[in-house]
Structure 1
Amino acid sequence: MSAVDKRFKSLGFNVGIPSLVFVRSLSRDCMLVVEGERVKGFAEYRYTFYKTRYLPDGRMTSLKVYMENQSIKRVLHRVASFLSFLERTKQIEQKECEKVAQ
């Protein structure tokens, strides 16, 4: 397991495809997703961080993109910050989350 996979796992994400797809359910119909992809002109993977909602039948109802085409370092920092905000506002349970170094 790579360091990136371990970081996301420590933040409560499930690792879909190692180093590429990370998913965390916030509720029955809402989840946070981080997806990586190769982008021409960059030596490393570029990542997109978004929140999506689904209807009970599986259809997507909304998609909110927080970051797009960013380095993993920036995305990890933003994800940790977003989860901290959710904990402070009591939208998710208080949990021991590793602080991501800047």
Structure 2
Amino acid sequence: MDQITKMAIQVTCSGCKKRFEVSEKFAGQKGPCPNPDCKAIILIPAATEAVVVHAPEEGGPKGVSGRPIGKPIARKEIRFSPLVAIGIGAGA
């Protein structure tokens, strides 16, 4: 027995900036903001397909614990300039 779960659509009112959820049956329609102080007409965006999260790619060397070993971060060599240090010290 297949069960399809209905997803709510996240909507933000452009008038009062209130965020709320709307049933996907209202996708692509216009309606009033549910905030009693606002009631601006909002456009409910079209429903999007469900997001599928894939497993990370397996590959590369692994450490003793079985976790992937990351590449070291490339660092830039920065030269120390005494004139800059004096300028910073004088400005403080």
The interval holding the TM-score normalised by the smaller chain is: under 0.3
With structure 1 as the length reference, what TM-score do the two structures score? Answer: 0.23
Higher strand proportion (structure 1 or 2): 1
With structure 2 as the length reference, what TM-score do the two structures score? Answer: 0.24
Report which of the two structures shows the higher radius of gyration computed on alpha carbons: 2
Higher helix proportion (structure 1 or 2): 1
